[in-house]
Amino acid sequence: MASALAHFADPKAPEGSLDLVVELGDSELSHRQRYAVATSRQTVVDLLACDGMNPRSILQNLTEIRDHAALLPGAAQGQMTQLSRAVLKLHTSLSVRSADALDSAELLQIADELRALSNVLSSAYLS
């Protein structure tokens, strides 16, 4: 979703790209209910990246990952695991940003950090 937002919500993206990414995020109804306006870059990024109540947003998925990471072996021993620290860092970073502050470069950075989380998870628990 971060990569899709970086490309489709970019100011240089073709007309209709915002509607496409809302559809990709399966959030057409949510967008219509929350925003009584046509799609705009700010409403789309807010809904699909920063909205902690949208089950398809990046922030909501990071919340789920954070909660599940706390249940993994080694997490309950008082110290945060490398995975828990990485998830918390990314979750906090996204939580304090507003939609208008997330440009395409920052969304691509979030996508890279999400891939890094996958690598941390794989090396810690699947190796």
Global pTM reads 0.92
In this structure, what token pair is assigned to residue 24?
């990709």
- Give residue 94's domain range: 2-125
How far does Cα 8 stand from its chain's mean position?
Answer: 15
pLDDT at 118 exceeding the cut of 90: yes
pLDDT by residue (tens digit) across 89-102?
999 999 999 999 99
Cα gap 11→95, rounded to integer Å: 23
Alpha helix positions (H), 41-103 = 41-45, 58-69, 82-95
pLDDT at 36 exceeding the cut of 90: no
The residue type found at 112 is D
Number of domains in the chain: 1
Let me know: does 49 contact 99? Beta carbons within 8 Å. yes
pLDDT value of residue 102 = 96
